[in-house]
């Protein structure tokens, strides 16, 4: 074998393991970047869940004040109606008072003396009075407004034993404003689902999809676990990672979906820079090996010529 071939073989022996190590490092970087992007997705869904729960907590505080109102305790419904209406944010948030049968005593979207609609919350009112705990409803159609809404119910009892439920209703427009899409993430889909898997809020195609059931993969995953991450096509047909978390306060599920291409883009970007660096290093190593080979070959040629001259007695 010629000396040049030996040098090339030596270079290959040195460079090939380095190339394999670089390939392994590139894959590790890709996995780490994808994991970091998915962790960011999970953090976003937790932050959104805190936003929704914070809104519910504020409503619970307002309802607790109303439930202990002296006007209600004294049976002064006119004064109590004024208090409840003052705390409402019509048309997105309004207040109701219901009796034990689930019949509306009043609804702040209409005058106090408006005849009540047929009872539609009997089961929810009975549950709240039986458990003496607040309850957040699934998405329903309001009997007075005819709008899609959710309602938060809080029990209260008067000194004479008469029981009521003070409630606050939220239109889906309210949740559309509160559960916004993340900044700079126009392609991420933020959604709030009720216990049955129907959309309370959705950042994309909300006018079309609110009140409809989400993808079965997401509903099944949210039913089986309090939080998690799945990969599935969205209702738009986009292959996405979907992080979700279950709210113990409301029983709702908050989910944020990000396209797979978006999550992988950051990993691909980092890998591209790493591969460029590895390629530059390998090119420099090959160039150095070639230059060193030429130097060695010239030295060997010079030594060979000197030996020949010495043999001729020169």
DSSP 197: S
Q: What was the pLDDT predicted at 254?
A: 95
Q: What was the pLDDT predicted at 237?
A: 92
Number of CB atoms found within 10 A of residue 25's CB? 14
What's the order of all strands across the beta sheet hosting 189-193? 199-202, 189-193, 253-259, 239-246, 227-233
Q: What was the pLDDT predicted at 192?
A: 95
Q: How far apart are CA 155 and CA 145, in angstroms?
A: 23
pTM > 0.85: yes or no: no
Q: What was the pLDDT predicted at 181?
A: 63
* Backbone dihedral angles phi then psi of residue 178, each to the nearest 5 degrees: -85, -45
Could you tell me if 63 and 154 are in contact, meaning their C-beta atoms sit under 8 angstroms apart?
A: yes
Q: How far apart are CA 218 and CA 228, in angstroms?
A: 10
Domains of the chain (ranges; CATH) run 63-174 (3.30.450.20)
**For the chain, which ranges sit under pLDDT 50?**
none
Q: What was the pLDDT predicted at 182?
A: 66
Q: What was the pLDDT predicted at 125?
A: 95
Beta strands in the chain (DSSP E): 93-99, 104-107, 135-136, 140-141, 148-157, 163-171, 189-193, 199-202, 227-233, 239-246, 253-259
């Amino acid at each position: 074998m010629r000396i040049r071939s030996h040098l090339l073989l030596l270079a290959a022996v040195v460079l090939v393991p380095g190339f394999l190590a670089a390939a392994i490092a590139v894959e590790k970087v890709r996995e780490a970047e994808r994991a970091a992007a998915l962790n960011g997705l999970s953090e976003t869904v937790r932050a959104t869940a805190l936003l929704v729960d914070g809104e519910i907590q504020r409503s619970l505080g307002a309802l607790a004040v109303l439930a202990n109102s002296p006007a209600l305790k004294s049976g002064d419904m006119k004064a109590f109606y004024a208090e409840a209406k003052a705390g409402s944010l019509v048309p997105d948030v309004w207040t109701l008072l219901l009796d034990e049968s689930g019949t509306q005593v009043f609804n702040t979207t209409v005058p106090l003396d408006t005849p009540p609609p047929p009872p539609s919350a009997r089961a929810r009112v009975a549950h709240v009075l039986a458990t003496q705990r607040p309850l957040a409803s699934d998405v329903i159609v309001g009997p007075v407004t005819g709008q899609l809404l959710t309602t938060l119910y809080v029990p209260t009892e008067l000194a004479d034993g008469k029981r009521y439920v003070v409630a606050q209703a939220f239109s889906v427009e309210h949740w559309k404003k509160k559960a916004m899409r993340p900044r700079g993430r126009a392609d991420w889909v933020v959604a709030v689902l009720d216990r049955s898997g129907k959309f309370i809020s959705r950042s994309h195609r909300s006018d079309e999809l609110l009140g409809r059931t989400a993808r079965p993969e997401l509903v099944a995953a949210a039913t089986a676990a309090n939080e998690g991450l799945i990969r599935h096509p969205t209702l738009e047909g986009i292959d996405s990672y979907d992080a979700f978390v279950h709210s113990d306060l409301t029983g709702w599920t908050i989910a944020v979906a990000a396209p797979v291409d978006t999550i992988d883009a950051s990993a691909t970007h980092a890998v591209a820079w790493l591969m460029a660096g590895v390629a530059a290093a390998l090119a420099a190593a090959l160039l150095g090996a070639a230059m060193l080979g030429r130097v060695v070959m010239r030295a060997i040629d010079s030594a060979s010529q000197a030996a020949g001259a010495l043999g001729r007695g020169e």
